[in-house]
Structure 1
């Protein structure tokens, strides 16, 4: 009877150990993003689905850790049962990642419309709470924008100091209003760019991990067959 290829066996173990570490990193980063609070969350702008994507990444990271453990144990102990569980689990998560990546590509053009719809519900700004307006002013100062959708017009006649465009800024970023220089860009553009950039990262992770997981499927099934012939 043919023996198990030692090179393949330990390559499978090394692959799964790195795979397990990758799951730890994804889980840790995702949990940090989920529990951290920033001004965008305080403005309740999570309706665009970004937090849902982060929740999916938490699930993916957890499953990858479990699968990596199964793969390591299956390779070292030459257990066909663990290798089969690893193969089935990896195949299912691969299908989910490809689906998530395709959905991300399909829905990416709709982000701007979703952001604008959410922000329109916050107008007029005079009807919002003091906390909301303070959070928005913080974003305006940091992101060099003014207002939500219509720029400075969203503030009516009470344009805050955070909209002021100083002389150190590019002149193309400013517009003269009521004798003051204020930021021309509405904050909706900043939010749209933020969500699009993060969605690109999620799509990249989905398809990038898919390529790696194909090697894992090949390793596990080859080792599974070799153990069966031993």
Structure 2
């Protein structure tokens, strides 16, 4: 059997087992998501393609990882070649997604701002847009996308600062507004001082950073796996090169014709293991 570097071999096997576990987690998340969304028929139909991608990615990751671990453990060339090819394909695919995203990242904030400004004023936006805006305001404790005036004179209850601790911490402010019912008065509302767009922009930037970090990190790991598998293949092929074994032939009887003598040696080669 071929001899590989024991330390490198163990690192490679651990590397593959780790990715097999990652593939199992992806499959588990896909299964949990499927069971969660399957309760609602409409949502389930919209999420089918996403779960299919998770199942495929998880299954392929497990399969390739096990092939690589088997090839290293049994010191087989073909499984290592399959793993090497899969790593190069995965690295290229990840970079194909991550590089354009990194280039587009600086322009994303401007596009996002333009998309939100197109929805103003919020008090005249479609009901679906207003529901989403109010949900964001309740969750992030903010009012309006760029200003509370985005709601015109119809500031919703989701803008109201109802927590006394937030008021003490200076997160709230009083604003004047006109009321259609109380046209002779000038009432005030205590609303959140923070607007929503800066918070959304911050979380979007963090999400993009995480996305790019994960994709570039996985691409680097795939490249590392390819390099290690290439080194193991080089060691494997070097140790299985045919080595000539020379056997000497004993001297022949004196009476035989010298021209009929067999060769004085025979070369035998060890066949490379596949």
- TM-score bracket, normalised by the shorter chain, equals 0.7 to 0.9
TM-score, normalization: structure 1? 0.74
Q: Which structure 2 residues correspond to residues 1-230 of structure 1 after superposition, within 5 A?
A: 3-25=3-25, 58=54, 63-148=60-145, 150-166=146-162, 167-169=164-166, 170-171=169-170, 174=173, 176-178=175-177, 179-228=188-237, 229-230=239-240
Alpha-carbon offset, residue 210 of structure 1? 3.4
Question: Bigger shift: 95-104 or 137-146?
Answer: 95-104
**SS at structure 2 position matched to 1:21:** helix
Number of equivalenced pairs? 213
TM-score, normalization: structure 2? 0.64
Q: Select the structure that is richer in helix.
A: 1
Q: Which has the higher contact order (CA 8 A, sep 6+)?
A: 1
Alpha-carbon offset, residue 159 of structure 1? 0.3
What per-residue deviation string (whole Å, max 9, x for no partner) do you get for residues 82-138 of structure 1?
Answer: 211211211222233334333333222222112222223333333444454233222
**SS at structure 1 position matched to 2:142:** coil
CA–CA distance in 2 between the matches of 1:158 and 1:30?
Answer: 42
CA–CA distance in 1 between the matches of 2:158 and 2:201?
Answer: 20
CA–CA distance in 1 between the matches of 2:32 and 2:199?
Answer: 22
RMSD: 3.4
Alpha-carbon offset, residue 32 of structure 1? 7.2
Return structure 1 stretches of 4+ with deviation > 4 angstroms: 26-37, 57-63
Aligned in 2, Cα 1:127/1:192: closer, same or farther, shift over 3 Å? same
**Gap regions ≥5 residues in structure 2:** 38-49, 178-187, 241-274
CA–CA distance in 2 between the matches of 1:175 and 1:91?
Answer: 59
CA–CA distance in 2 between the matches of 1:31 and 1:199?
Answer: 25
Q: In terms of Rg, which structure is larger?
A: 2
**SS at structure 1 position matched to 2:165:** coil
**SS at structure 2 position matched to 1:159:** coil
